[in-house]
Amino acid sequence: MPDTLPPVLNTARLRLRAFTQDDAAALFRVFSDEEVVRFWSNGAWTDMAQAGKMIEETLQAYREGGLSRYAIALAETDELIGICNLRGFFEQNRRCELGYALGSAHWGRGYAFEALEALLGHAFSALDMNRIEADIDPRNEASARLLERLGFRFEGTMPERWFVHGEFADTAFYGLLRRYWNERLLSRSSVDAAG
Ligand SMILES: CC(C)(COP(=O)(O)OP(=O)(O)OC[C@H]1O[C@@H](n2cnc3c(N)ncnc32)[C@H](O)[C@@H]1OP(=O)(O)O)[C@@H](O)C(=O)NCCC(=O)NCCS
């Protein structure tokens, strides 16, 4: 069993927790869906062994570091409905990269926002990050909307950075600084106080 599990992060409806071997079937449901991987860096999974491989890679990372990956699970049932992770930690500069995916049956309910708000809060407080980056396909409108609602700012495009699904795809690059995050929290609490 891994010895450096990430801490559980609880939200109103979700539980962000470490992966377990029991998550394989639910994980396969997420990544075998063409809709979910439309703008992902790999094609849809076709073999349950691919879920086992992601779980193994994640458990290894809990032991060795370098990747902090969470299962996004429903608080009520503990069923995995998606994943989110921080990777590419650069300690000196206190920055890392964010990644996330949610099963398509769960889109449009605010779960991704709720999960990432908890993960980012953890990254800025417990992990003391100053900057978090996200690299998305510019055509991925749901993802761009999600990042902007979280306070990320668009920083530019890098053309033909990926070759996936038989075509070159661009990167839209987003950054979230600790000060943007704090500003958003402050403006939200003043709205709450006024309301
Ligand atoms: C990117 C992705 C996670 C976004 O999921 P999502 O469900 O659209 O995002 P949210 O969970 O924040 O939900 C937002 C929507 O839920 C609605 N919603 C319903 N209840 C809500 C609540 N309580 N709180 C917030 N939003 C709520 C909002 O109106 C919003 O809809 P809108 O954006 O059309 O206005 C999802 O599309 C996905 O997994 N895509 C595939 C993987 C991927 O592309 N990952 C990114 C590449 S790195």
Contacts with 71 (C-beta within 8 Å, 6 or more apart), sequence order: 16, 17, 18, 19, 20, 23, 27, 80, 82, 83
Name the residue of 109, 111, 119, 161 whose CB sits within 8 Å of the most ligand 1 atoms, as the mutation to test its pocket: 109
The pLDDT assigned to 193 comes to 73
**Cα 42 versus chain centre, distance:** 16
d(CA 11, CA 25): 24
Protein residue with least CA distance to atom 41, ligand 1: 36
Which regions in the chain score pLDDT beneath 50? 1-2
Label the pairing between strands 67-74 and 14-17. Answer: antiparallel
Label the pairing between strands 131-136 and 153-164. Answer: unpaired
The pLDDT assigned to 4 comes to 75
Ligand 1 atom at minimum distance from 108 CA: 16
Contacts with 108 (C-beta within 8 Å, 6 or more apart), sequence order: none
| Contact between residue 120 and residue 11 where contact means Cβ atoms under 8 Å apart | no
The pLDDT assigned to 186 comes to 87
The pLDDT assigned to 195 comes to 63
Report the CATH fold assignment for 9-194: Aminopeptidase (3.40.630)
Which protein residues are within 6 Å of ligand 1, measured from CB? 36, 39-40, 99-102, 107-113, 136, 140, 142-143, 145-146
The pLDDT assigned to 125 comes to 96
Assessment of whether the complete model's pTM goes beyond 0.85:
yes
Protein residue with least CA distance to atom 37, ligand 1: 142
69-87 per-position pLDDT tens digit: 999 999 999 999 999 999 9
Whole-number Å distance, alpha carbon 45 to ligand 1 midpoint, is 22
The pLDDT assigned to 1 comes to 37
| Contact between residue 81 and residue 103 where contact means Cβ atoms under 8 Å apart | yes
